[in-house]
Amino acid sequence: MQQPMQKGRGSRINASGRYEAWRRMAFDDGWAVEDDAPPRIRTEVTLETPRTIISYNTSPDISFDRAINTYRGCEHGCFYCYARPNHAYAGLSPGLDFETKLFAKVNAPQALERELRAKSYKPAMIMMGGVTDVYQPIERDYEITRGVLQVLRHFDHAVAVITKSQLIARDIDILAPMAAKRLAKVAISVTTLDSKLSRTMEPRAAAPHRRLETIRALSEAGVPVAVMVAPIIPALNDHEVEAILEAARDAGAVQAGYVLLRLPLEIKELARDWFAAHVPDRAKRIMSHVRTARGGKDYDATWGVRQHGEGAYAALIGQRFRRACAKLGLNAQRSALDASQFRRPSRPGDQLDLL
């Protein structure tokens, strides 16, 4: 259901989830008054206690096989977020519900410790984030992500974190000692250097200059930082690739990656609506480039293709990205983490090893 754009929200669509038997549909009943302000939609947080917290994947084009997401949904409100369709599994809309009806996994640290202590567990780097931002605004109150990091540090477990929030700097006291042992690294997502565009695309995320400040703070503390230029959106922010990489390098980033705009499932409709509302003069051109990079479709989920696309436009973006990285010295060395240090710390009452 489409609503007037609300301040601080990324979507104005709240269509029913694709698995629901009943569908909501907006229509004009003749009573609407154009000047009426829409009711303010407040963020709702549901507490949940999952039995397990580590999720596993077998995707061949992802560099990690396990992840932890301390929340479901994300208040940042990025209209382009490829994780939005996951909210349909909860019977909610990938639109406004995704950014206003959140789930907090309050027992995540305890669940993680149980999983790490299992004799069957085999250590490998854990990615924090991916289908949510683990440092979204509600983390200030719940501190679930911080609790998870404390458990990982206790077990000497390798971890990588991806976020676009300045809040991660709060946890430098955990991340820096881990990084000194090659157990932690961070990726900061920087989509644009234009604060006005960022505020529209990612209404509750940190401003671009704050993200660069975060890269600098982490880097100065000895934490290896990568910049993720993601997503690159044709005819909207694609002209900024080189400038973003240079600004991030100057702030201390040593690695970089990128993703071309992905529009799986309901994201297609959300993106088209956002383009029509905010950049109507470029909406058709953006979608034309997207289809050029996706084999004539709005999206191609094929492994190995979905991240960067294919075709002339995608190839050009890839060439520009690689040349800029080479010029700036990014990706010259990889920050490999050492998962072999994992250990299960003893607890009161545990039998001590003889050796």
Confirm whether 341 is domain-assigned: no
Total number of domains in the chain: 1
The structure tokens listed for 29 are 């009943």
Per-residue confidence (pLDDT) for residue 156, from 0 to 100: 98
Res 102 pLDDT > 90: yes
Radius of gyration of the chain (CA): 21
Residue % of the chain over a pLDDT of 90? 81
The structure tokens listed for 64 are 């990690």
**Does pTM top 0.85 for this prediction?**
yes
Cβ atoms 120, 305 nearer than 8 A: no
Q: Name residues whose C-beta falls within 8 Å of residue 300's C-beta, 6 or more positions apart in sequence.
A: 294, 306, 309, 310
Confirm whether 112 is domain-assigned: yes
Confirm whether 291 is domain-assigned: yes
Instruction: Give the SS3 label for residue 334.
Output: coil
Strands 54-56 and 66-68: antiparallel
The CATH number of the domain holding residue 103 is 3.80.30.30
Per-residue confidence (pLDDT) for residue 347, from 0 to 100: 81
Per-residue confidence (pLDDT) for residue 25, from 0 to 100: 57
Confirm whether 336 is domain-assigned: no
Confirm whether 350 is domain-assigned: no
Place of tokens 């299960």: 344
Instruction: List, in sequence order, every residue forming a beta bridge with 160; answer none if it has no partner.
Output: 127, 185
Confirm whether 37 is domain-assigned: no
What is the mean pLDDT of the segment spanning 74-93? Answer: 93
Confirm whether 59 is domain-assigned: yes
Instruction: Give the SS3 label for residue 257.
Output: strand
Confirm whether 285 is domain-assigned: yes
Q: By residue range, what is the domain housing residue 123?
A: 44-331
**Cα(240)–Cα(102) distance, rounded to whole angstroms?**
32
What is the mean pLDDT of the segment spanning 257-268? Answer: 95
What number of helices (H) and strands (E) belong to the chain? Answer: 11, 10
